[in-house]
Structure 1
């Protein structure tokens, strides 16, 4: 398997931060982003932080852009307000305005997407990192990722490269989804070095989603790990990951990015120098494929599409060349997972 092909080589078209695109209510983002009048009218409701996070949201936008290039169409982007209390309103606004399909970026929409979709049975909805099964509507598709598998490879890389036998995991918000990143990372690290120390800390507790968009706090948490002996820290924290990279640069250590190839998207050469690899969750590919299936009429709601190592839906980036020398090790563990010889846990052992 050629995991190097998973690197996103600068495919993300970064733009101004969502805070510059949205009004004080956070209800409306940029309108049609290129494309043409032909093709689908795509609604895109972002997760916390909006477009410009150089991570999760940007990857979703890149998938929409690729779909528009292939199929025509246009996109309307909306971002949640500061406390993210208007998620249902965003989906409703897009549906009322005739956008179809509508893509909700992030599991935080799980509590509202079923109710909204039920009110608009002729509109197709997708939720990234959520489920389309048993949500009360048959027009919702879940776009899921085996993030634990990709994170396992991140743990393998961290343990193989660590010189101190001490690595760290910074999660944005304590939740079952982010805990699956933690579980995979820890399992991968311990598969290589059973006695390795894995420091774990979350920026915000369950229910408080500020941890995905708080670089200052991310920097403080990561700095504490570096000070405690970690030489590589994995940031599964959305926009807060920038703070982890800043702490790595200040400490002369290294970090691991998440979701997109953050070596390519971070923009700052000083931060690029510390991003050893990124655990890729190919949200862009999943979103593009979903829109393509909508265009050709094959979308079937009420189900989940799972992207894992076997489909190259997750993996590691090789940008910068920092882990080129351990590619054979990464490939070996990848094959063991694909062949079922290794079952990667989805929940932390402790």
Structure 2
């Protein structure tokens, strides 16, 4: 039977991992020194679309891997995806890491679902993890997040910051996972404004293969279109494509809201940081680290591990000094967070 649990505050904290040094891009095999002999000690991650250097989802995972490497002193591997790859390609990648002795092996993103289901059965002595997807298996930890909760807080911020009463949402791909971001954001905007603020939503593509998560040009064009419609705060849940949203917002001198990592602190986005009001945080790095630590401790996590506001698995950044200067914003976010945690606010996922 699949064990369902929520991680403790000790295991994960949104603010616990600094991401400033993760935006290095390039190939991701550099951190791996395995010789394929099958006795490698350490964790490995296989990246989602966009790969390392996205200043967001994948970089957060890498930060968690690096934290584990530093703390436990072992070898690690982080492997890039290839354009147009199939489930068979992903399966081969995961199997190769397991054969080399990496433990745990973690697939970063829902796209690894089918491959993870197949590989975990073939390597019962290896612990696996998958982010944003649930896979049944005695040796699999499904690392899932309450994205809608962080997005609700982003909606509160947008409603407080807007001067035009029009805000935007840009989703990378039109899939259920990103619907959670949109649903929480819209609800936060509407609850905070009493329905006075309009939300313009747009998805960049219908499928990931069309580039919705790794096309900054698509994100920039979408944001420009929303700005033309008077949006002065735009929240993006679009992976690497979100960099284009942030660039467009900065050029127009309107607010952008980042996602997954604290994008105000990302070196590659430094030229735009003054226009990044906040970011909806998703502690992918904390999840990667928590799984690695559990294996290191000899008590591997399995089943569905839920990261929500109660365990600081999601949240909202306040790094931009301008955040505190907007009247009532900090207080409104704190009140909403408390309401979500105590159950008085029920956040929609669709």
Give the TM-score, by structure 2 length.
0.89
Structure 1 contact 8–260 (Cα < 8 Å) conserved: no
1:284/1:207 CA distance change after superposition, 3 Å: closer
Looking at structure 1, the residues matched to 296 and 111 of structure 2 have their Cα atoms a distance apart, in angstroms, of 26
User: Offset at 1:281?
Assistant: 0.2
User: Offset at 1:14?
Assistant: 2.1
Higher mean Cα deviation, 283-292 or 146-155?
A: 283-292
Q: Which position in structure 2 is the counterpart of 1:89?
A: 92
Secondary structure, aligned partner of 1:323: helix
Secondary structure, aligned partner of 1:212: coil
Structure 2 contact 45–79 (Cα < 8 Å) conserved: yes
User: Offset at 1:337?
Assistant: 0.6
1:119/1:29 CA distance change after superposition, 3 Å: farther
Looking at structure 2, the residues matched to 322 and 75 of structure 1 have their Cα atoms a distance apart, in angstroms, of 38
Looking at structure 1, the residues matched to 54 and 184 of structure 2 have their Cα atoms a distance apart, in angstroms, of 23
Looking at structure 2, the residues matched to 164 and 69 of structure 1 have their Cα atoms a distance apart, in angstroms, of 47
Secondary structure, aligned partner of 1:84: coil
Q: Which position in structure 2 is the counterpart of 1:125?
A: 128
Q: Which position in structure 1 is the counterpart of 2:111?
A: 108
User: Offset at 1:11?
Assistant: 3.3
User: Are 1:202 and 2:210 an aligned pair?
Assistant: no
User: Are 1:226 and 2:235 an aligned pair?
Assistant: no
Looking at structure 2, the residues matched to 87 and 202 of structure 1 have their Cα atoms a distance apart, in angstroms, of 25
Q: Kindly tell me the number of residue pairs found equivalent between the two proteins.
A: 328
Structure 1 contact 256–277 (Cα < 8 Å) conserved: yes
Query: Which sections of structure 2, spanning at least 5 residues, go unmatched?
Result: 1-12
Secondary structure, aligned partner of 1:168: strand
Structure 2 contact 23–54 (Cα < 8 Å) conserved: no
Query: Which sections of structure 1, spanning at least 5 residues, go unmatched?
Result: 23-27
Looking at structure 2, the residues matched to 198 and 84 of structure 1 have their Cα atoms a distance apart, in angstroms, of 35
Looking at structure 2, the residues matched to 97 and 209 of structure 1 have their Cα atoms a distance apart, in angstroms, of 33
Q: Which position in structure 2 is the counterpart of 1:14?
A: 22
**Match runs of 1:161-310 below 5 Å:** 161-193=161-193, 194-208=195-209, 210-301=211-302, 303-310=303-310
Structure 2 contact 42–69 (Cα < 8 Å) conserved: no
User: Offset at 1:142?
Assistant: 0.5
Secondary structure, aligned partner of 1:273: helix
Looking at structure 2, the residues matched to 41 and 177 of structure 1 have their Cα atoms a distance apart, in angstroms, of 30
Looking at structure 2, the residues matched to 169 and 162 of structure 1 have their Cα atoms a distance apart, in angstroms, of 13
Structure 2 contact 171–236 (Cα < 8 Å) conserved: yes
Secondary structure, aligned partner of 1:249: helix
Looking at structure 2, the residues matched to 96 and 269 of structure 1 have their Cα atoms a distance apart, in angstroms, of 40
User: Offset at 1:267?
Assistant: 3.0
333, 341, 347: which one pairs with 1:338?
341
User: Offset at 1:83?
Assistant: 1.2
Deviations 1:122-150 (A, max 9, x none): 10000011113x3xx32111111100000
Q: Which position in structure 2 is the counterpart of 1:79?
A: 80
- CA RMSD of the aligned region, Å? 1.9
Looking at structure 1, the residues matched to 210 and 117 of structure 2 have their Cα atoms a distance apart, in angstroms, of 21
1:101/1:255 CA distance change after superposition, 3 Å: same
Q: Which position in structure 2 is the counterpart of 1:25?
A: none
Looking at structure 2, the residues matched to 15 and 278 of structure 1 have their Cα atoms a distance apart, in angstroms, of 17
Structure 2 contact 152–186 (Cα < 8 Å) conserved: yes
Structure 2 contact 170–235 (Cα < 8 Å) conserved: yes
Secondary structure, aligned partner of 2:251: helix
Higher mean Cα deviation, 179-188 or 77-86?
A: 77-86
Structure 1 contact 29–78 (Cα < 8 Å) conserved: no
Looking at structure 2, the residues matched to 260 and 300 of structure 1 have their Cα atoms a distance apart, in angstroms, of 24
Looking at structure 2, the residues matched to 339 and 308 of structure 1 have their Cα atoms a distance apart, in angstroms, of 12
Looking at structure 2, the residues matched to 289 and 7 of structure 1 have their Cα atoms a distance apart, in angstroms, of 14
1:220/1:343 CA distance change after superposition, 3 Å: same
Deviations 1:47-67 (A, max 9, x none): 011111111011001011111
Higher mean Cα deviation, 184-193 or 81-90?
A: 81-90
Looking at structure 1, the residues matched to 123 and 116 of structure 2 have their Cα atoms a distance apart, in angstroms, of 11
